[in-house]
């Protein structure tokens, strides 16, 4: 029986086909990213200048605003000994 090398040749053809496809894809990516010209833009790439912001502080003089008063009661000042709960891990004295 003769030994044939047809399967080896077919593997080599598939390998060359895959290699050629990868080579073409790689060249396409390089062309798309680096070589082709940038598209022309119709619009300016610069953002518009910021508009000036004017804050009306006269609201703080309004009698309706002055009626509101403080939004919450003042926070009481605690002495250092009165802060927190008693430590549950200390022995009672």
pLDDT tens digit at each of 93 positions of the chain:
566 666 778 888 999 999 999 999 999 998 888 877 766 666 667 777 888 989 999 989 999 988 887 778 878 777 766 667 777 888 876
Residue-level pLDDT at 18: 95
Determine the Cα–Cα distance for residues 17 and 33; give it in Å rounded to an integer: 24
Residue-level pLDDT at 22: 96
Residue-level pLDDT at 17: 95
Residue-level pLDDT at 27: 93
Q: Is residue 16 part of a domain?
A: yes
Q: Is residue 19 part of a domain?
A: yes
pTM > 0.85: no
As for how many domains the chain has, the answer is: 1
Residue-level pLDDT at 11: 85
Determine the Cα–Cα distance for residues 25 and 30; give it in Å rounded to an integer: 9
Q: Which domain holds residue 23?
A: 8-35
Contact 81, 87 (CB under 8 A): no
Determine the Cα–Cα distance for residues 56 and 60; give it in Å rounded to an integer: 9
Residue-level pLDDT at 79: 72
Backbone dihedral angles phi then psi of residue 21, each to the nearest 5 degrees? -65, -45
Q: Is residue 22 part of a domain?
A: yes
Residue-level pLDDT at 82: 62
């Amino acid at each position: 029986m003769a030994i044939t090398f047809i399967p080896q040749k077919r593997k080599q053809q598939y390998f060359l086909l895959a290699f050629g496809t990868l080579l073409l894809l790689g060249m396409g990516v390089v062309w798309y990213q680096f070589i082709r010209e940038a598209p022309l833009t119709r619009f300016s790439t610069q953002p518009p200048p910021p508009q000036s912001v004017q804050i009306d502080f006269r609201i703080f003089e309004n009698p309706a605003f002055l009626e509101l008063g403080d939004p919450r009661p003042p926070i009481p000042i605690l002495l250092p000994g009165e802060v927190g709960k008693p430590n549950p891990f200390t022995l009672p004295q």
